[in-house]
Amino acid sequence: MKILIAGGGTGGHFFSGVAVGEAFLTRNGDNEIIYVGTRNGIEARVGPKEGLDVRFVTISGIKGKGLVSRLTAVAKIPLSILQSAVLILKERPKIVIGVGGYASGPVVLAARLLGRKTAVVEQNSVAGATNRILGKVVHRVFVAFSPATKDFPPGKAEVIGNPVRERFVQLLTLESTQTVGVGRKLKVLVVGGSQGAHAVNVAMIEAVSGMSDELKERLHVTHQTGTKDEELVKDGYEAAGVPSKVLPFIDDMAEAYRFADLVVCRAGAMTVSELMISRRGSLLVPLPQAIYDHQTTNAKVLVDGGAGELLVQNADLASNLRAALERLEGSRTTLQQMAGKAGELGKPAAAAEVVDVMYKLVGRP
């Protein structure tokens, strides 16, 4: 059958949609997957390169914009719904799933009005604006973390975890937590998302600069900086005398997780899910500007589960980060316990669960 997956804009939305699409193909290789997004989102750049069938609607964001931008966005809504309806009538998908982002709104709404079976996937602990609206009308809601259930009608949301691509899951789960804390050096992975995080980059350099020479020698840092801070971070580690591998972007994140004993990172939905699946403890620095402060809520899922520690982005971030690294370097048992707790929280079969539920919804065995 034909399945339409709508949404994107960011990697977190788009790649969870790709994971669901791949799970439908695993279920039946004759299934046909169509992705719908916007020409400005990551789906427009990455989708065609991966050989995916990507279509586009004309829509943009409203929340957090200026008055003119909001009015322009509102004016695009009727056109985007019309475009979505035309696409659905032409392609005749049996299932339409929204994965968050601007494009999911008009596509899923049009699909529901045209009698298709619909669902949304919410990656964060706090639901986004589009999914909150769609959650009132779709047939099923899938959430990654239990705190998000409160953002949807009672009893409608099912906690399944975040859909992660199968080949990534396989790579992340190749090695167990027995590799954590083994060896003389504490292997730290620092990631601030695909674009890096300037505040985290600067805090990490300040943190290691204030460490003792003995501790510096016992560290090895792999650091994804983003393009703007690559030289700044390289120079910082060199000046501090800390062994490091600094990259603007890490292509093989699964391998980076597997090499690490501890991860210093933001708390985006997919990062949190990858930490669980890869069974790695973390020091989490939520993005303060995130809408609804959802990264803090995401982080607390790991913190409350004993798998991570929360560090606030403020004037004390560098000193708090240094103190945490010093403490954890001296307690490999704590690192191993955090890793084990992360693994207990992981839900690697999330994408397959979406497929199972939607097959039942359309009456397929």
pLDDT digits (tens, 9 = 90+) for 229-272: 999 999 999 999 999 999 999 988 888 998 999 999 999 999 99
pLDDT tens digits for range 150-162? 999 999 999 999 9
pLDDT tens digits for range 276-330? 999 999 999 999 988 889 999 999 999 999 999 999 999 999 999 999 999 999 9
pLDDT computed for residue 70 by the predictor: 66
CA distance 226 to 314: 21
**Are 114 and 179 in a shared domain?**
no
**Are 127 and 28 in a shared domain?**
yes
**Are 131 and 36 in a shared domain?**
yes
**Are 88 and 217 in a shared domain?**
no
Structure confidence at residue 167 as a pLDDT band (50, 70, 90) = confident
CA distance 241 to 94: 58
**Are 252 and 108 in a shared domain?**
no
**Are 50 and 83 in a shared domain?**
yes
The alpha carbon of 21 is separated from its chain's Cα centroid by a whole number of angstroms, namely 16
Residue from 164, 346, 325 nearest 253 by CA? 164
Asked if residue 134 lies in contact with residue 152, where contact means CB atoms within 8 angstroms, the answer is: no
**Are 263 and 183 in a shared domain?**
yes
Question: What pTM was computed for the model?
Answer: 0.87
pLDDT computed for residue 64 by the predictor: 57
Residue 68 has pLDDT above 90, yes or no: no
pLDDT tens digits for range 47-58? 999 999 999 998
Asked if residue 221 lies in contact with residue 247, where contact means CB atoms within 8 angstroms, the answer is: no
Q: What are phi and psi of 254, to 5 degrees?
A: -60, -45
* CATH number of domain containing 105: 3.40.50.2000
CA distance 80 to 72: 13
Residue 335: give the domain boundaries: 170-345
Mean pLDDT in the chain? 92
Helix (H, G, I), strand (E, B) or coil at 126: coil
Q: For residue 71, count other CB atoms closer than 10 A to its CB.
A: 11
CA distance 180 to 281: 9
**Are 158 and 194 in a shared domain?**
no
| Tally of domains within the chain | 2
Sign of the torsion angle spanned by Cα atoms 227, 229, 233, 239: positive
122 forms beta bridges with 143
Tell me the HSE value of 13 on the side-chain side, using a 13 A CA sphere: 26
Alpha-helix residue ranges (DSSP H) falling in 249-310: 253-259, 269-278, 294-304
Tokens 């709404």, located at residue? 109
